Amino acid sequence: MEGKDIRAILRKPIEWYYDTWDISKRAFLVCMANEIYTVGDLLRAYHDHVLPKLRNCGKKTIKELEGILALLNSTEQTYALQLINKQDKYGDLPEAPKNLIVSAYHKPLFDFSMDCIDQFYATFNDPRSFYSFFCLNQKNLAERFNNLDNWELKHYCYQLLSEIHSSFWKEQLADTFTYELVVIARTILWFCDEQFAEEIEASDENLKVRKRLLLADFAENVDKLSKQSKRIQEWFIPTYQKAVTMFLLPEEQVVELLPQIWLHRAPQGEIFRFLADLNDVLFQYENLDGDDISKTLIATKYPYLTEEQIGFVINFFNQYEHFPMFYLLREYLAKSDKRLDKVFAMATGICGENPMNMAEIGEKIECTRERVRQLMEKASKDLFEDMNWSYYQFDSTLVIAEVDDLYLNVVDQEKVNISFESFAQVCIEGFPLKAIKENDMRFLVNKRLSGQIINRICGEVNKQNKRIRSGIDSIRLEDLLKDIPDDKKDDYRQALPVIITKAYRLVVDENGNIVLPPNGVDVIYELSEILRDKGRPMSLRELYAALIQRCPEVGHKSFDHVRAKVLHSEALKPIGKSSMYTLAEWTHVYRGSIRDLVADILKKSRTPLHIDEIMKKVLQAYPYTNKGSVTSSLGSDKERFVLFGDGYYGLRKKKYRGGR
């Protein structure tokens, strides 16, 4: 068995042998129809004398399949069968890993909803079924995982896998096949569902760090090889499962695969170093916590930082979920002796000096203005290729409307005390952007757009908007674009609505019409805008005060007048019987009373709930209430609610176990 990876052979898909013409389509379809997906499945079926009993599996088909099994001699097949029995039967697992799996399965579901709990136990009714789902039959795991339609359920399953993985590692069971399967399962799940990835990253900081760094290392390695062949990216990048598959294959099988993925064969040693590096990165990041990974990464990528500065960058990342790139750029330029870097620092003023024009820079470094322009172009390319500007990816962005907020965030969060001009200059030099101003609002727009055309169109919109109107009017955006070449119109169709909406507070509807409201004040419209700006429900008194402040010309309107309009409005809806109002379009706001909400919570629960558990969910919808108010409200509604004692509440019409 020396030199052969038996486990890798057992996990090799039957489909691979069909793709390489080793078996016929008939043999392949026989396997698929009978759930024989891997060599291990085939070996088990062969030794259990199942093949002759299968439909359409004649002597010729069996002979083809025996050719696959010939990869293993009789001694190796005996050992392989032992592995199969161990890896595919939960009951045959050693006691130590089995106990860890059971303990993780029975972990309380404190942080998850009743819907999640119901779905979990309906899907996985015991530790055996959970383990079999994720850790056996790795084929199509991503598809099976995606078929779990509740992301919260996916989140919980991921946490269980994480706990099993961590427990195996702490108990020094890392050499077991079970541990390897769990690691592979977790790795695949990282990459198989975008919504799940976003949600899980929001609540698991260490995972976010590990995944980001693993992806970064993976991409960097692939980029190096892809310079020799574009096929490597096509084969590796779309799904990480393919890279994992490569990890599991022995060298001779990798060599067999290379002609399929390589247009111009690279040195085999380089390929195997690449695969080994990825494998090392995977297991390294699985067993480091977020801070250790961050320190290692930052010290490697930004060697010019002091230990104190590294600490600032880590804390910044943990708080804002991206690196302080303006801060890192400033520190790099301040310490660099390269001519290109000095030119860029002088042109942008990022190191605290006033930005200099090309003529001034030319005088200082004794060269022509054209030479300075060439140096700036090269400096921008080098700097923005070397640094990770993932948070500021403006290359394909047509309009950055919130540029002032972005600038203030950079100054406040990244502790970079630079002028707006310096900030804008860095963005312009690093990305294909230009600065424009409309109605005293600043924007950065893609260089594909003409500032003169934007100014002309916005000027016409502003002129039309100032005219007196008794009712709603509109301007067709398409009419304003009639003089623009057809191949450039799409860019302006996307960019102008953003600029017009931000600069002139006008709505551009889905048909491309710029809606001009009447000159008089529409109370309901203004109240709706106040709620949108606030982002939360408000009381009538709050709305009235905000309306007077926003539109002083309606100061003569009484509170009762505004209240009457709100009561008859379809756009604003009350919350329960309170004085709080919300937008009808806000589906995330619960509009029933607190009692109705508690009743809904208890309907989903199999058992009575403690008031503290109820309050966790109530406060999400009613953050300004308190426990005393809720208990008083429940106590006054004895037709619906019953107090069992010790703070546990249930529904009077619902039966519970144990006499409750």
Structure tokens at 133: 């789902």
* DSSP assignment letter at 92: G
**pLDDT reading at 1 higher than 50:** no
The percentage of residues in the chain with a pLDDT greater than 90, rounded to a whole number, is: 3
pLDDT interval class at 641 (50, 70, 90) = confident
Query: What is the overall mean pLDDT for the chain?
Result: 77
Determine the pLDDT at residue 512.
86
Q: Is the pLDDT of residue 221 over 70?
A: no
Helix (H, G, I), strand (E, B) or coil at 649: strand
Reported as a single tens digit per residue, the pLDDT across 172-215 is: 765 555 655 566 566 656 555 666 666 666 766 666 666 666 55
Which helix (H) or strand (E) covers residue 109, if one does? none
Given a cut of 60, whether residue 283 has pLDDT beyond it is no
Task: Give mean pLDDT, residues 254-275.
Answer: 50
Tokens 């109370």, located at residue: 523
Interval 629-634 mean pLDDT: 84
Confidence of residue 455 (pLDDT cuts 50, 70, 90): very high
Question: Rounded to 5 degrees, what are φ and ψ at 352?
Answer: 105, -5
Amino acid in position 168: F
- Report the CATH architecture of 594-659: Orthogonal Bundle (1.10)
The pLDDT of residue 252: 59
Amino acid at 539: S
CB-based burial of residue 209 (10 Å sphere; 0-12 exposed, 13-18 middle, 19+ buried)? Answer: buried
> Does an H or E element contain 307, and which?
helix 307-320
Averaged pLDDT for residues 102-110 = 81
Query: What's the mean pLDDT in 455-459?
Result: 91
> Which amino acid belongs to residue 625?
T
Pairing type for strands 507-508 and 513-516 reads antiparallel
- Are residues 193 and 153 in contact, defined by beta-carbon separation less than 8 angstroms? no
Domain ranges of the chain: 6-88, 90-203, 205-288, 322-434, 456-516, 523-583, 594-659
Residue 319 and residue 314: Cα distance in Å, rounded?
Answer: 9
pLDDT of residue 631: 87
Contact 405, 425 (CB under 8 A): no
List the single range of 24-38, 127-141, 198-212, 468-482 with lowest mean pLDDT.
Answer: 198-212
pLDDT at 248 over 80: no
* pLDDT, tens digit (0-9, with 9 covering 90-100), for 31-56: 888 878 778 888 888 888 888 888 87
pLDDT score of 658: 60
pTM (two decimals): 0.44
pLDDT-based confidence at 91, cuts 50/70/90? low
Contacts of 328 (CB under 8 A, 6+ apart): 302, 305, 313, 387
The yes-or-no verdict on residue 356 having pLDDT over 50 is yes
Q: Quote the pLDDT of residue 209.
A: 64
Q: How confident is the model at residue 247 (pLDDT cuts 50, 70, 90)?
A: very low
Average pLDDT value for residue range 596-611: 86
